[in-house]
A = this chain, B = another copy of it.
Amino acid sequence: MHYETLFQEIHRELQLIGEIGQVADYIPELAYVNPDQFGVHLTTVGGEEFAFGDAEKRFSIQSIAKVFTFVLAYSRVKSTIWERTGLEPAGTPFNSLIQLEYDKGIPRNPLINAGAIVICDILASELASPKENILSFIRRITGNQSIDYNSKVALSEKKTGYRNYALVNLMKSFGNIKNDIDKVMEIYFHICSIEMSCKELSQSFLFLANNGIVPYSGERILSVSRTKRVNALMQTCGFYDEAGEFTFKVGLPGKSGVGGGIVAVHPEKYAIAVWSPRLNKKGNSYKGMLFLEEFTTKTRSSIF
C-alpha cells in the first residue's frame, strides 16, 4: 500500500478542525517551538518508507525515551526489574504520589516518570558510563550516529523538575533508589532531552515490530517473547492516564512525549511516528492521536 496519499488526506481533514491544544510550556525550549509543525513517518519491516510534512525535523522526544531505557534495562537485567517496578497502568495522574506511598516506593510501571527514574537507577548501577551507553544504544538501533542529548533542555528540566525530585526522594525514602539522587536524575533529565525526527523514531522502534531484531543490521535486541511484552507494556502504560483511550481509538501499542511526538508499532508490519506539538489536556499530542486514530481506522490496521 502506498501510504503517502492517505497521510495527505488525513492531514487535510485535521486542518479543518483548527488549532486546538497548547504546547508544553514548563521550560522555554518547549514553549518556543512553532506549534503548527506537523510530521509523520512510517517505516515497514521490509524497509519501505512513507513520509509527510516535517518528517525529518528533530524535536524533543521527552517521555518516548523511556521505552529506550526500559528496553536497555530489560535486555540486561533478568528478574529483579519487576521487584523494583510494577507493570500495571497507573490510573489517574492525581494518584501518582499516593500510589507510590501506598505501594511503598514501587512505581506502577516503568513508563511513568517514577518508573523511568527507577530504570535510570538500575542503569546507573549496570552501566559503566550510563549517559554515553544509553546514547550509543539509541544510535545503534536507529543506525544514526548524530542523535544526541540537548544539554540546554536537560538543564531546564533539572531546574524546574521539582515534582520529579519529589518522586525520587519519596522512592529513596523507601529504599527503591540505590544510587545518589543526583547521579540518577542526571541520567533521567538527559534522556528526556534527546532530539529525534519522526523518521528516526520510526526507524528506532522498528525492531519492536520485527520480533526484536533491528532490520537494517540484523542485531537481536530482545527475544521474541520479550519483544511482545514490551509492546504489551506500551499498550497498557504508554499514554499516562489516556492509555485506555489510545488503545480504544488507535489500537496499536505506542508511546507519547510532551514534545508532541507519538510512536506506534504494528507487530510484524511497521513502526509509525507522528509529531504535532499542541497537546490535549492529558499531555498527549492532540493531532497526533487523531491522526493515528484515522490512520488505523481507514487502514483497518488496529491489532484488535
* Interfacial residues, chain A to chain B (CB-CB below 8 A): 86-92, 94-103, 108-109, 162-163, 165-167, 169-170, 172-173, 224-225, 227-229, 231-233, 235-237, 241-245, 247-249, 251, 253, 267, 297, 300, 302-304
Closest chain B residue, CB of each to CB of A303: B303
Contact A247 B236 (CB under 8 A): yes
Are A88 and B304 in contact (CB-based, < 8 A)?
no
4 closest A-B pairs by beta carbon, nearest first, are A91-B91, A231-B304, A89-B89, A162-B173
A286–chain B nearest beta-carbon distance, Å = 18
Sample (6) of A-B pairs whose CB atoms are under 8 Å apart: A91-B91, A166-B167, A229-B304, A232-B248, A233-B247, A236-B248
Residue numbers in B under 8 Å from A297 (CB-CB):
225
- Contact call A97/B101, Cβ cutoff below 8 A: yes
Instruction: From known contacts A92-B91, A92-B102, infer whether A236 and B232 are also in contact, taking CB-CB under 8 Å.
Output: no
User: What B residues does A91 contact at CB under 8 A?
Assistant: 88-92, 95, 99, 108
Whether A304 and B232, one on each chain, are in contact in the complex, defined by CB atoms closer than 8 angstroms, is yes
How many Å lie between the Cα of A169 and that of B167 in the bound state? Answer: 9
Q: How many angstroms between the C-alpha atoms of A101 and B245 in the bound complex?
A: 21
> Closest Cβ of chain B: how far from A273's Cβ, in Å?
18
> Which single member of B172, B231, B248 contacts A162 (CB below 8 Å)?
B172
A108 proximity list for chain B (CB < 8 A): 91
Q: Is the CB of A300 within 8 A of B224?
A: yes
The answer to whether B224 touches A251, judged by C-beta atoms less than 8 angstroms apart, is no
Give bound CA distance, A225 to B162, whole Å.
38
In Å, the complex CA distance between A96 and B108 comes to 16
Residues of B within 8 A of A224 (CB): 300
Known contacts A91-B90, A91-B92, A236-B247, A170 near B97 by CB under 8 Å: yes
Q: In chain B, what residue has the closest Cβ to A229? A: B248
Set B90, B173, B241, B244: member contacting A163, Cβ < 8 A? B173
Known pairs A89-B244, A169-B169 / 20 extra A-B pairs, C-beta < 8 Å: A87-B244, A87-B248, A88-B91, A89-B89, A89-B91, A89-B236, A91-B95, A92-B99, A94-B101, A94-B102, A98-B98, A98-B101, A162-B170, A163-B170, A228-B304, A229-B249, A231-B304, A233-B248, A236-B248, A267-B303
* Shortest distance between the CB of A241 and any CB in chain B (Å): 6
Contact: B88 with A89, CB < 8 Å?
Answer: yes
Which residues from B are CB-within-8-Å of A89?
Answer: 88-89, 91, 236, 243-244
Please tell me which one of the listed residues B98, B99, B163, B302 contacts residue A232 in the complex, with CB atoms under 8 A apart. Answer: B302
For A248, the chain B residues whose CB sits under 8 A away are: 87, 229, 232-233, 236
Chain B residue at minimum C-beta to C-beta distance from A250: B232
Complex Cα spacing A95 to B302, Å: 31
Residues of B within 8 A of A229 (CB): 248-249, 251, 304
**A98 touches which of B97, B166, B247 (Cβ 8 Å):** B97
